[in-house]
Amino acid sequence: MLRALDTVLGSNLTQPAAMSVRPGQSLTVGCQVSYDLGYATHWIRQPAGKGLEWIGYTCSGCTPGYKDSLKNKFRFTVDSSSNTVTLNGQNLQPEDSAVYYCARDSHSDTNKQQSCTKTY
């Protein structure tokens, strides 16, 4: 299941209500946003009955950051023409079942975003 998480007042993020894929298949989820894509969009997931897990972030003009254990499973793309940030997952397994959230960072300074990834 997928849902959008809006972390900054006045920003809108829109995702599909729910999706399902079979083991071994890929996943593509778009998050259409109302803000400048210079702000980082983070992807986070929460398996049923468990805590949040940070997947990574991306923005227009910055190098994406990924959680080390997930960097071979997920990739992000940014489409400025449609203001959409997309999460692409490969070879998904039952343990990847979760609610996936997109969320906007509170700042657009890409130099600071590198240090943000170390706090998750």
| Phi–psi pair at 66, nearest 5 degrees | -130, 150
- Report the C-alpha gap between 4 and 74 in whole angstroms: 18
Q: Is 94 domain-assigned?
A: yes
What is the domain extent for residue 18?
13-119
22 or 11, higher pLDDT: 22
**1 or 44, higher pLDDT:** 44
Does 56 fall in a domain? yes
In a domain, 7, yes or no: no
pLDDT at 108: 59
Distance CA 44, CA 9 (A): 19
> pLDDT (tens digit, 9 = 90+) per residue, 68-91?
999 999 999 988 888 888 999 999
**3 in a structural domain:** no
The single-letter DSSP state of residue 82 is T
| Residue 1 domain-assigned (yes or no) | no
- The pLDDT, as a whole number, for residue 120 is 38
Report yes or no on 59 lying in a domain.
Answer: yes
What are the tens digits of pLDDT across the range 26-42?
988 888 888 777 788 89
Question: Could you tell me how many residues make up the chain?
Answer: 120
Tell me the residue ranges of DSSP E strands in 15-83: 27-33, 41-46, 53-58, 65-66, 74-79
Domain assignment present for 8: no
Tell me the per-residue pLDDT of 94-119, one tens digit each, with 9 for 90 and over.
999 988 888 888 765 544 444 333 33
Q: How many domains does the chain have?
A: 1
Average confidence score pLDDT of the chain: 78
Residue 89 in any domain: the answer is yes
The CATH number of whichever domain residue 90 belongs to comes to 2.60.40.10
